[in-house]
Structures are given as C-alpha cells and as structure tokens.
Amino acid sequence: MVLGLAAVAIGFMALPFAGLLGRTPWGNLANLLADPFVAEALRLSVLTSLAAMAMSLLLGVPLAWVLARVPFPGRAVVRGIILLPMVLPPVVGGAALLFALGRRGLVGQWLDERFGILLPFSTWGVIVAVTFIAMPFLVITVEAGLRSADLRFEEAAATLGASRLTVLRRVTLPMAWPSIAAGAVLSWARGLGEFGASITFAGNLKGRTQTMPLAVFQALESDRDAAVAISLVMVAVSLAVLVALRERWFRVA
Amino acid sequence: MICRGATSLAVVLAVGCGGGDSADGDPMLVLAAASLTDAFTDIGAAFEEANDGVTVEFSFGGSSSLATQIVEGAPAAVFASASSTQMTVVVDAGLAAEPVVFTNNLLEIAVPPGNPAGIATLEDFAREDLLLGLCAEEVPCGTFAREAFAAAGITPSVDTNEPDVRALLTKVETGELDGGIVYRSDVVASGDAVEGIVIPSERNVVARYPMAVLEEAPDPETAQAFVDFVLSRSGQETLDRYGFTAP
Amino acid sequence: MTLVADVALVKGTLRLRAALQVADGEVVALLGPNGAGKTTLLRAVAGLDPIERGVVRVGEQVLDDPAGDVFVPVERRPIGFVFQDYLLFGHLSVLDNVAFGLRCHGMGRKPAAAAAMGWLERFGLAAAAGDHPRSLSGGQAQRAALARALAPHPRVLLLDEPLAALDVATRRQVRGELAAHLADFPGARVLVTHDPVEAVVLADRIVVIEEGQVVQQGSAADIRRHPRSDYVARLVGINLLRGRGNDHHVLLPNGAEVHLADTAPASDVFAVVRPQSVAIHRHRPEGTPRNVWRLTVVGVEGDSERIRVEMDGALSLVAEVTPAALTELHLAPGAEVWASFKATDVVVYPV
C-alpha cells in the first residue's frame, strides 16, 4: 500500500520530465545550445542564484537564529511576513519589490537620489528578487534545525568558557550545519528557477537580467525546440547539483 | 474554465483550459490577444445580447501562447490574434482557414504621467541615460517596435524586453521606465495611468489583427456569427473606442 | 571553604532552598529522589540557572549575589561541569572536544591540542584522540567529558549523575575509575546521584536533598546510623518510624504503638528497626514479642541469599527473610501475614 503510493508519487513527479525528454530535439541539441544566448543565460543564472544563496545565508541564518531563540512580541507576525514570498505568486513579490525598491519606490527613490543606485533592470536587481523569493526556504529550514537542537550543548560550551559568540560560532552553527546546508540547497534550487519576481522587478535583458527561466520563457514564444533544449540544461544542472550535494551534505549528518 | 492572462507554459495551460466537447448551450470559447481584453469583453456582451442563449467565454493571452494552446488541442471556436505570424502557425497546422484582418493597431510611445524624461520622438529611445523598455522580440508588439526603429535608422538603448505589453505598461505606469513602445489601444485602456505620444504615421508600423473560425469549433455557425459581429459596424465602433483603427 | 552556595530559586514546580559548602579536596554527593532539585542546585552553582536569593561564592570570588547585583556569567566561572549524558560535541573530534575549553580561554591551536593530548593520555584515551565522540564506549565518553571539564583547570568540578548514562554492567567498573580520577583533582567536587552506593563509593560527605531542601548531611556512616527521612531510611534499607515518645512507647500518628525496651524522650522521635529483626508468621505468634502487626505483603524482591519483603497495614515494614522462609510462608503480594519484632531491637533517637 505505502510502496504503491510512493510509486505513484515518483511517477507523478518524474512524468513531466519524461515528457520533456520526449520533446527534446536530440539531433539539433548541440546547435541549439551553442547559441550564445543560452550560455549567457546559464552564466547569469549560476551567478545570480549563487549570489542570492550567499545573501540568504548572510541574512537568513541570523534571522533564523533570532526566530528560533529570541522570544519577542510579534514573533509570529514577523515569521509570517518572512514566509509570505513562499505562498504569494512571485509576480506579486516582484511588484511589491518594485513598489519598495523601484525607482519611485519607498526606499528605491532614496537609494537612487542618495547613492545613484538603481536596482530594477540590473543584475543586482535579479539577485535581490531571487533572494526575496528564495531566502524563506533557508530561514524555515534553519529555524527548524535550531529549534530541534539540544540547548544543553550550548550550556556545556558555556561551562567550558565559551562566550555567547563563541558558542554560536563553534557549537550552534556547526551543529545546525545539516539544516543550514539543506536550507542553502533548497534556496539555491528555488532561486535557480525563479521567474516571476525577477522579470517583474528586474526586467528581461540578455546578458544583464535574462536568466535561464526567462530565456526559456522567451524562447517558448518563438522556438519551442530551443525552449526545450534550455529547459533540459536547467534540469540537468539542477539534478546534478541536488544529487551531488545530497550525497555530500546529508549522508554524514 | 477561463484561463485569463495565460502567459505561463502553454503546454500546461492547454490542459487547464480543456472545456470538453461542446454540446448545445455550452459557452463558446474565444481565444483572443491580450490587447483585445477590454474591447472584446464589450463586444462579447453585445453579441450575447443579440443572440439569445449564446454565451461567449474569452481566454486572453499572448498570441503565441494562444497559438501553442490551439496546436496542443485547446477546444476553442475562434482565434483572434495580434499578429499574422501566430495566425500562420495555426493555419499551417491545418486548424484554421481563411483568416480575416478585423482591426489594426498602431504603435505609440507610452510615458509616465507628466513625461518626466521629456520623451518626444523615437530618437529619444537612443538615449542611454534613460530607462527604456520594449516588448520582447518574439511577441508582436516587440517585433513591430523593432521594425519601426529599423525603418527610422535608430538603435534603441533598451533596458528590458518585457514578455508582454501589459508588463511593459506596468513598468511605465509605475515610473520605473521612462518610456516604452506599446499599442495605441493599450494607452487608451490605461486611462490616466500613462501618457501617449503619437508616432507619425509615416514612421509607424501597423499591426494587423487577423481572426478565424477554428476547425475544431464545436459550433462553426455561431463562431462565424461572432466573427461577422466583430466586423460589423457595432463591433468596429467598439474597437475604435478602445484605440483600434478599422482595417 | 572553596565553594559556598546558599541558593533560593523557583523553577517550575520546584522550590529550591538549599545551602552547600564544599572544601578543597572534598567530594560531596547530592543524594535525593528524582525531581528533588539536586541538578538544579548544581546548575545554580554553575550559573546555568540564576538564583533569586542567596549567594554563590568560590573562594573569595562572589559569582552570584542578587542582592549585591552580582552575576558572573557561566563562561567566566572557574567551574567545570560534567553533564549527565556527557554532551560531547558531535561535530568535533575527541581531541578537539577536550581542547575546546582551552581554546575558549585564549590558548593557541597548537598548545591547546598538545595540552588536550596530555589529558587524553592521562585518561587512557590517547588512541581515540582523532575519533568521533559517537564511536566511544560509555565509559570512554565519560572519561572524555571529565577530561574536557578538567582541561581548563577549574577550581570546582560539578558532575551531574556521572554514571546514569551507563549500563549496569559497565557502571561498577567506571565507578571505580571515576573515583580514582576524582581523587586526582585538587579542587572542590560535587556530584549528583540518586544511587546511594555511588554516593558512598565516590563521596566523602553526603548531602540529602528532598523537595528542594537539604534534609540531612554527613558521612555515609552517620546517615546510615541516623536516617532522618523515609527516603533515606529506605535507601539504607531500614525501617524508619516517626512518632512521639511516650515512656516505653512510641506513638505513631495513626494511633499504633511501638513498644520499647527503654524509655523514649517525650518528643518527636525516630524509631529504627533493621529488616533482619522483623519476623514474619503465617499465624499469630505466641510468646514474648509485643510488637505484632497484622499486615499485607505488597512487594517481594531480592536474590538467592536475601529477600526483602515489603508489608503495609497499620504501619509499613520491610523484613529480610531467607528464600526457604519465602517458600514456606507463601509470601506473595496480597498475602496476609503477621509481622513482629522485639522491643529490644528498636533504636530510638530524637528528630
């Protein structure tokens, strides 16, 4: 019974990719992928998704720690806000970013006037949009990891003379490493496929803001074979990374 | 089921839009280019009023997405495209015959209210200090805009290629872009949200909108009646009101 | 005194109000039932549970004094702590675990590793230096935890149930090793246990804690001789009856009378009867014993040599009988029996 349902689940998840393989123009694949715009999009995707993962780690881990360990009024509301991008359509997230960080946005206006920083239509804009969408995945994963941790290890470290910062650096974070790694991979994977928020906030320009998903979308308008070929590259890259990292990061933990 | 604003993977949507085989009284599904949203909604209401017992459902989207849906088997009766290219895709697939041009749309420069960047002509699109957007090359409004620039010998400094007119217009409305090239009908539909700057007719590109009854139409007669209704005086007046021009 | 702790705090349903003093070189065992507050007292001394009133001092240094607004945080107290399940850091090697405290006290990586290696050698763990803590046996893990706590040279060493995580088979052996290692440490040592044997083997002095309060303290012999609570009496395996002295009797709260050979002081007294002195009969015994009670057997436990029979009724008594007597008298829970002891076998002392 359980095995049967699991098999159905596997089939359900794998079938669309089989469909993709079925539509792949194998004979013409090399030609399609040789198009410089594919390489350009792949480069941008790798760059922005990794940068967004780095941003998510930098900001998301401290946030997860605060949510897990520091009781403060309104914590549930804050957590809800942080997780909003997971449930909202990404396009809404992109529009919201535009209203906040766009040229006429709440903060964006000030950024532009004060520092001449314009996020929309720039690669940084893509990174901001992808971070906005992907970071919640890291935050909930790490927060869950920190919550399930045995606090007495931190007490043990304190009795050995470790300051709060040392405890965090040498005990809390290393022990939460599996959840941090899982969160980072999840957020990276989510970021790699990000489309709606990116195109809404940062637009679509080859070499600057056109990542793989945008390239697929645009190719779909004109050349479906090219779209399928690019999708195949995304699937291959993602699968390779997810499988490799899972082996490395989760087996030990 | 209506798939409004269908701009996602066409293959997925084709499944989602499956209306099943039509029996009498079932609504007639019309797939129409997104730019026709307002005009066709009005025309559809008038058509229903004029024909007792007939209901029309629209699925508006990018013409190319709609064409893909039709090729993938969407059970629609009529296809109204914003470009002859996409109509050709459907005709070549043997799914439609004898399309007719039912309206034209002209390009227009859209700028935020007050025109902060002071854009006046197509030449301003070569200015690198401005944030400017076009539709992506693959969608008709992008194709036409590029034709216009090519004819005028201008290389536009583009900051973004938006997936459809609506997305481009939103970025102009919010002032994120200083200007963009859209259809006149879009400027009209936007009301006060954007200002339109007319492109002189000698430099303009006319977008011809073809429409056709689909081979798979469950009720070809009603479908043809709808096409005729759009071509009628009443239909043309409605289109004119929304910024379109008669062919 | 090296360690002086006089603490009052409320934690959950526990109200801890206990004082503790431990000299250099002394080992004190905190003995008491589960939930009595032994571990909380230890945590209060370490600074893991801040106290509400009182004082914690090591030597002249005040560590916690709410009235004087002094609170030295855990990491700056000269106190080592061995946790019940050792809590070795799973992401560090055994060597790095032991070096952890030294690194926290500012020692460089190499000297800390060298010093840690010295500790591991001393504890017979040199071969396991590079191992993962999870691969250690229970006894090894305990020694590693001890080495880790001792490495930064604390003045006071606290051990919370140091043997509880071990299975019964290894416990006795590790207990012996622990005793030897504790003997090497010059500072004050406090260990928490609920096992009286552990307390006797490891400690110079036993402090009994019940319901957040110290009920008795002294050497193992003192406590065995004069238990001051039911819990202690049961621990040391004797019958402890509390009542009021009245000439040649002790009057129990439920009205029962215990006959004595001598006169008792006219005050609250403890009456102690050793289980070996209690006889069990199927029928009411004839003759001299005047302390005879009709009781119900509620529990039978023991080994092939000695069997303890617990009985309840007008009073609770434990008797020690031979296996032969057990069979002969059909002593199973629920059995109705007569229990007796001689007046001369009752020892009385004031509360």
Looking at the fold, whether B124 and B67 belong to one and the same domain comes out as no
User: Which pLDDT does position B11 carry in this prediction?
Assistant: 35
User: Which pLDDT does position B150 carry in this prediction?
Assistant: 95
Q: How far apart are CA B141 and CA C215, in angstroms?
A: 90
With an 8 Å Cβ cutoff, the interface of chain A facing chain C consists of 150, 152-153, 155-163, 166, 170-171, 174-175, 177
Residue B4 has pLDDT above 70, yes or no: no
Q: Which of A118, A220, A222 sits opposite B10 (nearest CB)?
A: A220
Q: CB distance from A204 to chain B under 8 Å?
A: yes
Report yes or no for ipTM above 0.85: no
Looking at the fold, whether C242 and C298 belong to one and the same domain comes out as yes
Tens digits of residue pLDDT in B222-234: 999 999 999 999 9
Q: How far apart are CA B197 and CA C21, in angstroms?
A: 91
Task: Find the DSSP H helices in chain B.
Answer: 10-16, 37-50, 63-71, 84-92, 140-152, 165-173, 184-190, 220-231, 233-241
Structure tokens at A46: 């790798």
Q: How far apart are CA C142 and CA C166, in angstroms?
A: 9
In a domain, C114, yes or no: no
Q: Name the minimum distance, in Å, from the CA of B65 to any CA of chain A.
A: 7
Looking at the fold, whether B42 and B109 belong to one and the same domain comes out as no
Nearest residue in chain C measured CA to CA from A173:
C91
Nearest residue in chain C measured CA to CA from A161:
C75
Taking 70 as the pLDDT cut, the residues of chain A under it are 246-253
Looking at the fold, whether B88 and B118 belong to one and the same domain comes out as no
User: Which pLDDT does position B10 carry in this prediction?
Assistant: 38
DSSP code at position C135: G
Residues in chain A within 8 Å Cβ distance of B68 = 220, 224
Q: How far apart are CA C304 and CA B136, in angstroms?
A: 93
Helices C94-104 and C138-150: crossing angle in degrees, nearest 10, is: 20
Q: How far apart are CA C260 and CA C247, in angstroms?
A: 9
Residue whose tokens read 């000269």: C78
Nearest to B194, CA basis, from B205, B202, B203, B185: B185
Residue B9 has pLDDT above 50, yes or no: no
Tens digits of residue pLDDT in B114-136: 999 999 999 999 999 999 999 99
Looking at the fold, whether B110 and B196 belong to one and the same domain comes out as yes
Structure tokens at B148: 């216009």
Nearest to C301, CA basis, from C270, C332, C272, C343: C332
For C123, phi then psi, to 5°, come to -100, 10
Q: CB distance from C76 to chain A under 8 Å?
A: yes
Residues in chain A within 8 Å Cβ distance of B10 = 220
Contacting chains of B (3 CB pairs or more, <8 Å) are A
Contacts of B6 (CB under 8 A, 6+ apart): B13, B17, B59, B60, B61, B62, B65, B66, B69
For A74, phi then psi, to 5°, come to 85, 15
Looking at the fold, whether C177 and C326 belong to one and the same domain comes out as no
Nearest residue in chain A measured CA to CA from B161:
A204
Angle at A86 between CA A108 and CA A211, to 5 degrees: 65
Its sign, for the CA torsion A189, A195, A199, A201, is negative
Conformational region of residue B229, where left means phi above 0, alpha means psi within -120 to 50, and beta covers everything else: alpha
C-alpha dist (Å) from residue C277 to C44, C274, C300: 43, 5, 17
Chain B interface mutation, best of A201, A216, A221, A222, highest count of B Cβ atoms under 10 Å: A221
Q: Which of C48, C75, C83 sits opposite A161 (nearest CB)?
A: C75
Domain end point (choices C168, C191, C225):
C225
C-alpha dist (Å) from residue A118 to A102, A188, B97: 7, 24, 49
DSSP code at position B28: E
C-alpha dist (Å) from residue B242 to A21, B197, B221: 44, 16, 27
Looking at the fold, whether B63 and B154 belong to one and the same domain comes out as no
In a domain, B3, yes or no: no
B19 — pLDDT class (breaks 50, 70, 90): very low
Share in percent of chain B as helix, strand, coil (round to 5):
40, 20, 35
For B228, phi then psi, to 5°, come to -60, -40
Looking at the fold, whether C287 and C311 belong to one and the same domain comes out as yes
Task: Give the domain range for residue C285.
Answer: 237-350
Residue C287 has pLDDT above 80, yes or no: no
**Which range has the worst mean pLDDT, C15-24, C142-151, C301-310?**
C301-310
Contacts of A247 (CB under 8 A, 6+ apart): none
Q: CB distance from A164 to chain B under 8 Å?
A: no
DSSP code at position C314: S
Please name every residue paired with B197 in a beta bridge, in sequence order, or none if there are none: B109
Number of domains in chain B: 2
Structure tokens at C307: 């069997």
Q: How far apart are CA B126 and CA B142, in angstroms?
A: 16
Is B59:B77 a contact under the CB 8 Å cutoff? Answer: no
DSSP code at position C333: T
**Which range has the worst mean pLDDT, A153-162, A236-245, B195-204, C211-220?**
A236-245
User: Which pLDDT does position A247 carry in this prediction?
Assistant: 66
Nearest residue in chain C measured CA to CA from A252:
C91
Q: Going along C111-267, which residue ranges are E strands?
A: 156-160, 188-193, 205-210, 213-218, 239-246, 249-251, 257-259
> Percentage of chain C surpassing pLDDT 70?
99
Element (H, E) at C37: none
Q: Which of A156, A162, A175 sits opposite C83 (nearest CB)?
A: A156
Nearest to B29, CA basis, from A164, B16, B187: B16
CB contact under 8 A, A159 and C74: yes
Instruction: Determine B/C contact with 3+ CB pairs under 8 A as the test.
Output: no
Q: How far apart are CA B203 and CA A220, in angstroms?
A: 30
Tens digits of residue pLDDT in C150-168: 999 999 999 999 988 888 7
Residue B85 has pLDDT above 90, yes or no: no
Is C78:C155 a contact under the CB 8 Å cutoff? Answer: yes
Task: Compute the mean pLDDT over every residue in chain B, rounded to the nearest whole number.
Answer: 87
Looking at the fold, whether B174 and B110 belong to one and the same domain comes out as yes
In a domain, B2, yes or no: no
Residues in chain B within 8 Å Cβ distance of A222 = 64, 137-138
Looking at the fold, whether B223 and B197 belong to one and the same domain comes out as no
Q: How far apart are CA C21 and CA C59, in angstroms?
A: 11
Q: Which of A104, A203, A219 sits opposite B162 (nearest CB)?
A: A203
Residue C23 has pLDDT above 90, yes or no: yes
3-class DSSP string for B187-217: HHHHHHHCEEEECCCCCCCEEEEEEEEECCC
Tens digits of residue pLDDT in B106-115: 999 999 999 9
Task: Give the domain range for residue B22.
Answer: 10-103+209-241
DSSP code at position C293: E
Residue B67 has pLDDT above 80, yes or no: yes
Q: How far apart are CA A25 and CA C169, in angstroms?
A: 69
User: Which pLDDT does position A241 carry in this prediction?
Assistant: 81
Residue type (1 letter), A136 = P
C288 — pLDDT class (breaks 50, 70, 90): low
User: Which pLDDT does position A248 carry in this prediction?
Assistant: 61
User: Which pLDDT does position B17 carry in this prediction?
Assistant: 39
Nearest residue in chain A measured CA to CA from B173:
A104
Looking at the fold, whether C42 and C143 belong to one and the same domain comes out as yes
In a domain, B1, yes or no: no
Tens digits of residue pLDDT in B140-193: 889 899 999 999 999 999 999 998 888 899 899 989 999 999 999 989 988 899
CB contact under 8 A, A159 and C73: no
For A14, phi then psi, to 5°, come to -90, -25
Q: Which of A153, A155, A163 sits opposite C89 (nearest CB)?
A: A153
Query: What is the maximum alpha-carbon separation in chain C?
Result: 81
Nearest residue in chain A measured CA to CA from C157:
A159
CB contact under 8 A, A159 and C79: yes
Looking at the fold, whether C315 and C186 belong to one and the same domain comes out as no
Query: For the domain that residue B150 is a member of, what is the CATH number?
Result: 3.40.190.10
> Please, what's the b/e burial string for C224-236 (b: 16 or more CB within 10 A of its CB; e: otherwise)?
bebbbbebbbbbb
Class of domain A35-250: mainly alpha
Structure tokens at C95: 């060597």
Q: Higher pLDDT residue, B34 or B125?
A: B125
Nearest to C105, CA basis, from C133, C70, C77, C129: C77
CB contact under 8 A, A158 and C149: no
Looking at the fold, whether B73 and B24 belong to one and the same domain comes out as yes
DSSP states along A18-79 = HHHHHH--GGGHHHHHHSHHHHHHHHHHHHHHHHHHHHHHHHHHHHHHHHHH---TTHHHHH
Looking at the fold, whether C172 and C253 belong to one and the same domain comes out as no
pTM of the entire predicted model: 0.74
Looking at the fold, whether B81 and B124 belong to one and the same domain comes out as no
Residues in chain B within 8 Å Cβ distance of A99 = 174
Q: How far apart are CA C122 and CA A29, in angstroms?
A: 67
Looking at the fold, whether C257 and C343 belong to one and the same domain comes out as yes
Nearest to A154, CA basis, from C73, C144, C119: C73
Residues in chain B within 8 Å Cβ distance of A200 = 167, 170
B13 — pLDDT class (breaks 50, 70, 90): very low
CA A25, chain centre distance (Å): 29
Domain ranges of chain A: 35-250
CB contact under 8 A, A159 and C81: yes
In a domain, C113, yes or no: no
Looking at the fold, whether B96 and B121 belong to one and the same domain comes out as no
Residue B25 has pLDDT above 50, yes or no: yes
Residue C111 has pLDDT above 80, yes or no: yes
User: Which pLDDT does position A80 carry in this prediction?
Assistant: 93
Q: Name the minimum distance, in Å, from the CA of A12 to any CA of chain B.
A: 15
What is the mean pLDDT of the segment spanning C304-318?
A: 84
Q: CB distance from C105 to chain A under 8 Å?
A: yes
C303 — pLDDT class (breaks 50, 70, 90): confident
DSSP states along C102-121 = HHHTT--HHHHHHHHHHHHH
Residues in chain A within 8 Å Cβ distance of C147 = none
Query: For the domain that residue C300 is a member of, what is the CATH number?
Result: 2.40.50.100
Helix (H/G/I), strand (E/B), else coil: C308: strand
Number of domains in chain C: 2
B23 — pLDDT class (breaks 50, 70, 90): very low
In a domain, C123, yes or no: no
Q: CB distance from A199 to chain B under 8 Å?
A: yes
Q: Higher pLDDT residue, A39 or C149?
A: C149
When computed from its CA atoms, the radius of gyration of chain B, rounded to whole angstroms, is: 18
Looking at the fold, whether B199 and B119 belong to one and the same domain comes out as yes
Looking at the fold, whether B190 and B218 belong to one and the same domain comes out as no
